[in-house]
Structure formats: structure tokens, C-alpha cells
Amino acid sequence: MFQGETAITVDDKGRLAVPTAYRELVARECANRLVIAYNPFELGCLYLYPEKEWQRVRDSVNALPSTQRAHRNLQLKLVGAATPVELDGNGRISIPASHRSAVGIEKKAVLLGMGDKFELWSEQAHHAQIRQTLSDDDLSEHMLDLKL
């Protein structure tokens, strides 16, 4: 559904414009509603889920037994801090200050379309991630058969 990388500017009020290439898709598929959550696996990144996809993720995460620390941590970062947002008339969304601060998003960010969701990266974290390369030790069994 979503694919591509876009440099984004965040204004002084914490708003960012969803790229015009995605606006119609977000309006049609998501009724202009997204849900922001922390990325529990990477520093410097937020997830932006379409509302329907978010409901599926939320329900599966909440179904995990909260007696395990890793489950509680996942529930805290994904469900506990989730914030619904809606595109305004100018195609912008407001990213809460607490979320921006926690992941280091200031004026510049990078929005990645990752299929079923967006990832919103601080510019610094995105550059650091892109500069990393995979070594043979990083390859999983599933990756070995990929034809890239």
C-alpha cells in the first residue's frame, strides 16, 4: 500500500504534511485517520498505522500475556502510547511533542512507506540506519533465498 522515502519538514507546531502522493490513498483507505505509536525495535522512529491496520496490531499485541516483561514493554510502546491523528484540510498531521521528543524528531524527518504502515524517522536516526550494512552474520535463513 505505502512505498517510498520522503524527506519531511516538521513545523513549529509539530505538524507535517503527508506527501501528496499518499493523501488520496490515506483518504480512501484510512478515512484520513492514522495512529502513531513508538517503534519498539528501532530508536529514532515512530510507526504511523492506518486505523484498520492499527486495530489488528493493537488486538494482537493486547492478546499477549502481560505477565512477561517483553510483552508489557511491547504493549507500553505500541498500545499505551498510541495516539490517533487525522489529516487536516491541508493534508497535515500533528505529531505529539512527547513522541517527537522521545525519538529525536525536530525540524527534519524522513517518512518511509513500508507497505502496511509508515515509519517516521528522525533525520539523524534514518541516516545512521541507512549507513549500516548487513554482514553474512546478519542474514537469517529466510533471507538466503531472496533474489535481490
The pLDDT of residue 146 is 84
The answer to whether position 57 is within a domain reads: yes
Residues in the chain: 148
CATH number, residue 44: 3.40.1550.20
Q: CA-CA distance, 38 to 76, in Å (whole number)? A: 9
Q: Could you tell me what percent of the chain has a pLDDT over 70?
A: 100
CA–CA gap between residue 85 and residue 92 (Å, rounded): 10
- The Cα 85–Cα 95 span in angstroms is 8
pLDDT at 43 over 90: yes
| pLDDT score for 134 | 82
Q: Is the pLDDT of residue 133 over 90?
A: no
Mean pLDDT, rounded, for 95-121 = 96
| Structural domain of 59 | 2-132
Distance CA 22, CA 19 (A): 6
pLDDT greater than 90 at residue 63: yes
Domain count, the chain: 1
Confirm whether 37 is domain-assigned: yes
